[in-house]
Structure 1
Amino acid sequence: MIKQILSHEKALVKDTIFKLSTANNVSVDIPVTLISGLKPGATFTIIAGIHGMEYPTIMSLIEFKKEIDPKKLSGNLVIIPIVNVESFYKRTPFINPLDGLNLNRVFPGNAKGSITEVMADFFTTQVFPVTDVLLDMHGGDVSEDLIPFICYYNNKELKKQTELSARLSQISGFDTIVSYSYILPADKPAQYAFKQAVRQGITALSIEIGKLGSWKQAEVVATKQAIYRMMAELKMYENKNVKPATPPRIMYDKQVYVAVPDQGIFYSSLKAGDTVIKDTEIGFITDIFGNRIKTIIAPESGVVLYKIGTPPVNVGETLFCIAINSEAK
């Protein structure tokens, strides 16, 4: 359906709803804006709201789609401002309230599965195949404190796509770039949306901006400017009000994750962006009576890329992500 619309109509702006359903008639609506330019070019897919409470990128796409003049566009835009509409309106962090699943953990999905798995299958089979470049945008959900960053997978098997992802990251205007190792055995699911796109041979990257379930207009503007810079780099569109950005200041190529060891109440004086030193205390957990039950120690030295920023924590959640620049050591 998406491919047919984009291949037959030029200078098009079309808002449409894709209705997805399971075998037992659980359904969701996915809002999609298709913009086709007058001239040929890449198909750039930009999505937000896989997690419905990550607001800055959602709000940026709602504004961005109204600013594009298709007569000045080369190629196509596929814009999905709120992937997980149920999560957005129900204000549920991370999961789809219809089946309790996290969409960013079920890729490639299953056309015969629960509604979240059907949604992932829709992207895997209908959205990604028409996509040349994917920008999957996220932010700090209601429990997450993070620093703004842009990231991509360092897939050494697809060098051309990885080089383009790195270049788009470098010109985006984000000060911090994170390069993730790409390790995905053939028999393992990708789980994450933009990792699935990489598996399918697509140039893919992701933005993280905003924190603790809030949004600011400055974050919306920064996100839109990053998109415009990418489109200029792809020779798709020029917004003369958006100037080239200064080079990024920080590059991280390694991440260490600290998982929550025990359910309880989390305390830490650290915030996202702070530096931590290996083997030092970075927080602690108490029981509901305030008794300390676990001390959290930094496994490596680095910078807090993101962390849980609210008191309640549950076993297995990511308590800290510590980012490291291996070349700086």
Structure 2
Amino acid sequence: MKVSKAAVLSLLAMASSLSSQQVKSVMNNEGRFRKDIILPVQSEQGETYIPVTVIKGKEKGPVFSIVAGIHGYEYPPVIAVQELLREISPESVKGTLIIIPVANTEAFKKRTPFISPLDQKNLNNAFPGSPDGSSTEQIAHLITKEVISNSDIFLDIHGGDANEDLMPFVCYYNRTDAPEQTAAAYELSLRSQIPYVVSYPYTITEKEPAKYAFKQAVQQGITALSIEAGKLGNVQEDQVALIKSAVYRMLQHTGNYAISKKADKKISKVTLLNRQEYIRVPQSGIFYSSFKSGDTVKKNQTLGFITDEFGTGKQDIIAPVGGIILYKIGTPPVNQGETLLCIGYYKQ
């Protein structure tokens, strides 16, 4: 396990409002504290920042990091983390929690799907980032260096963006050459009690850019996973509640936070989906489909069709495999090459 104090000191030292003496003072505050930090980011595109909360318990324990808002239009994760920040008490924490409530603040404030309005780049395609790059690349670098690298467990929370109809699931990478970390991520996935667990293949080398936040953590040998909940750029209260419940269950399992003295250790049955089939948009146009995320489909079933703006040129969309729709474009316009649907299924 990494040294919690080093992780905390690194982050606190980056907060321009704190002197080195103040950092030491905070660390000695009965051994536990909460500090809200602003990490400034300056680039040619303009100034922005990353909000970070560090909650350190009095007793030793793992460093559990939570990130929301890597895509600024994915609101249920952001609202769930806002509620967690109001509810979690430092007196009940063991180890350290590092929480980024909104990683992509400019996209969040400007209501921009997927990309940052500053540099038109996707933060969840930028890891490990660069200290001298654009604003998005610098944010990815700071998260990689100051959060991921100081974590024992890394949780990245996402949802359906403005155009995405998504069913809730928890996911991890099946890194076969790191069985201990993979097994820990799988166990945390089960503990979340989210009914669907998705396992992604891990195929990149050590030198390839990970691109995705929690894949970066996996590449660094850290126990990492992601929650996907919420859809279509709206706040669904049941999805906020699902995210919070899953996070609390994970924190209780790792020993970071006790939600109940009589913890329910029973794990409900989950559905494991270890394969994914991505259907790309064959032609730009208008997409029609009666299917929703979570629907079960059969191989060779017609899932919908695409027309041009005049309602002609119909092209059917056929399911190449049977399985469950994890997410799909839930708004009419589609552009060639985009992911139209993702079907999850299990293969022995």
TM norm structure 1 = 0.95
Query: 1 CA distance for matches of 2:67 and 2:188?
Result: 16
From 55, 58, 63, give the equivalent of 1:38: 58
Distance 1:27 1:244, change over 3 A: farther
Question: Aligned-pair RMSD on alpha carbons?
Answer: 1.7
Note the 1:64-79 alignment, pairs <5 A: 64-79=84-99
Distance 1:179 1:314, change over 3 A: same
Runs of 4+ in 1 over 6 A off after TM superposition: none
SS of the aligned residue for 1:156 comes to coil
From 115, 118, 121, give the equivalent of 1:101: 121
Deviation of 1:26 after TM superposition, in Å, equals 2.0
Name 1:152's counterpart in structure 2: 172
Q: Does 1:55 align with 2:68?
A: no
From 145, 170, 176, give the equivalent of 1:125: 145
Query: 1 CA distance for matches of 2:158 and 2:265?
Result: 23
Name 1:164's counterpart in structure 2: 184
Name 2:15's counterpart in structure 1: none
Deviations 1:24-60 (A, max 9, x none): 3622111111100000110000010000111111101
Deviation of 1:177 after TM superposition, in Å, equals 0.3
Query: 1 CA distance for matches of 2:45 and 2:110?
Result: 20
- Mean Cα displacement is larger for which, 90-99 or 184-193? 184-193
Q: Does 1:253 align with 2:274?
A: yes
Partner AA of 1:67 in structure 2: E
Name 2:293's counterpart in structure 1: 272
Structure 1 residue runs of 5 or longer lacking an equivalent are none
Name 2:34's counterpart in structure 1: 13
Name 1:114's counterpart in structure 2: 134
Deviation of 1:187 after TM superposition, in Å, equals 4.1
Is 1:108–1:191's contact at 8 Å kept on the other side of the alignment?
yes
Is 1:173–1:245's contact at 8 Å kept on the other side of the alignment?
no
TM norm structure 2 = 0.90
SS of the aligned residue for 2:136 comes to helix
Percent sequence identity is 47
Task: Name the count of aligned residue pairs.
Answer: 326
Q: Does 1:238 align with 2:254?
A: no
From 275, 287, 303, give the equivalent of 2:308: 287
Query: 1 CA distance for matches of 2:46 and 2:162?
Result: 26
Name 2:16's counterpart in structure 1: none
Distance 1:245 1:138, change over 3 A: farther
Partner AA of 1:134 in structure 2: F
Query: 1 CA distance for matches of 2:206 and 2:7?
Result: 28
Query: 1 CA distance for matches of 2:277 and 2:302?
Result: 15
From 193, 205, 214, give the equivalent of 1:173: 193
Query: 2 CA distance for matches of 1:25 and 1:319?
Result: 31
SS of the aligned residue for 2:140 comes to helix
Deviation of 1:293 after TM superposition, in Å, equals 3.9
